[in-house]
């Protein structure tokens, strides 16, 4: 049976249903799933109302956990509409809120919670009118995400695919025995083109030989990300650093549990 779960802003909608079992962004930074600058960049996407897809080839890579954790960073001025099931209906906009985030467990033909078939294009068309979505997909690269949308059975038009925002690729890496570490491998921006498929611009990539992230600070990367976030290019780094300093402050003072992180984010926006 298809269910719709709306505005459960204080609950987690992941596999366990128990908030205490869910990692948060601070804990993910501490276990090296991502660093503070990358976390700040993704936070800025949610703050500015960008759609974001977390993708991986594997089931247990942590994409749902990461999406669930970043839901806590959506500003309280945005409405959260939780969508469960293969059918998409346009969320009702609450009075006084700036825009709506449709939060979808996944885009996949398997799993009763996931969105699929013609309703994927329906959701994307809805989001292209000014609202946003967050979801997960099975794909090992940003190019794989684009192929999944453009090829059968979805066959979403290129113009519509160009509105999907950003793609975060997450990997699960075996460290020997039963130990598994998770890491963001690539962070890419989807840039619409006037004709043909959208362009992908890698913003951040993991370099295993150097054991560090490589941030693409080219003029093209800065210009396109700034345009996507509706910022002046000169403002972009300052905005990233604003959120990065806040994350580092929470780490320093010992903010650690999921509920503490959520409260800290809410208080941050109240004080703005």
- Can you name the residues that pair with 136 across neighbouring β-strands? 54
Q: Is 176 exposed, middle or buried (0-12, 13-18, 19+ CB in 10 A)?
A: exposed
Q: Can you tell me the mean pLDDT for 79-102? A: 90
pTM of the model: 0.92
Q: Can you tell me the mean pLDDT for 77-105? A: 91
The 10s digit of each residue's pLDDT in 168-196 is 999 987 666 555 678 999 999 999 998 88
The 10s digit of each residue's pLDDT in 61-70 is 889 999 999 9
The 10s digit of each residue's pLDDT in 5-53 is 443 433 445 444 455 567 899 999 999 999 999 999 999 999 999 999 9
Predicted pLDDT at 183:
93
> For residues 59 and 171, what is the distance between their CA atoms, to the nearest angstrom?
10
The 10s digit of each residue's pLDDT in 131-159 is 999 999 999 999 999 999 999 999 999 99
Can you tell me which residue has the tokens 């999944």?
Answer: 148
| Structure tokens, 257 | 């549990």
Predicted pLDDT at 92:
86
- 3-10+21-270: CATH topology is Rossmann fold (3.40.50)
- Which residue has better confidence, 204 or 2? 204
């Amino acid at each position: 049976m298809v269910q719709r779960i709306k505005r459960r802003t204080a609950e987690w909608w992941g596999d366990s249903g128990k908030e205490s079992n869910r990692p948060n962004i601070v804990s993910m930074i501490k276990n090296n799933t991502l660093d503070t600058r990358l976390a700040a960049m993704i936070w800025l996407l949610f703050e500015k109302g960008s759609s974001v897809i977390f993708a991986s080839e594997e089931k247990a890579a942590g994409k749902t956990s990461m999406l669930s954790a970043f839901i806590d960073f959506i500003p309280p001025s945005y409405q959260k509409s939780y969508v469960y099931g293969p059918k998409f209906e346009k969320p009702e906009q609450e009075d006084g809120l700036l825009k709506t985030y449709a939060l979808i467990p996944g885009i996949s033909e398997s799993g009763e919670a996931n969105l699929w078939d013609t309703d994927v294009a329906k959701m994307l068309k809805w989001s292209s009118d000014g609202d946003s979505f967050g979801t997960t997909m099975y794909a090992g690269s940003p190019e794989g995400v684009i192929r999944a949308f453009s090829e059968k059975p979805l066959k979403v038009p290129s113009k519509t695919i160009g509105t999907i925002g950003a793609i975060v690729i997450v990997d699960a890496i075996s460290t020997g025995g039963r130990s598994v570490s998770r890491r963001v491998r690539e962070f890419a921006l989807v840039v619409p083109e006037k004709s043909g498929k959208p362009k992908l611009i890698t913003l951040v990539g993991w370099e295993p030989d150097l054991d560090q992230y490589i941030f693409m600070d080219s003029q093209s990367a800065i210009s396109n990300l700034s345009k996507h976030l509706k910022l002046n290019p000169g403002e972009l780094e300052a905005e990233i650093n604003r959120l990065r300093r806040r994350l580092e402050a929470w780490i320093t003072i010992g903010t650690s549990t999921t509920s503490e992180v959520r409260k800290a984010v809410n208080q941050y926006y109240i004080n703005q």
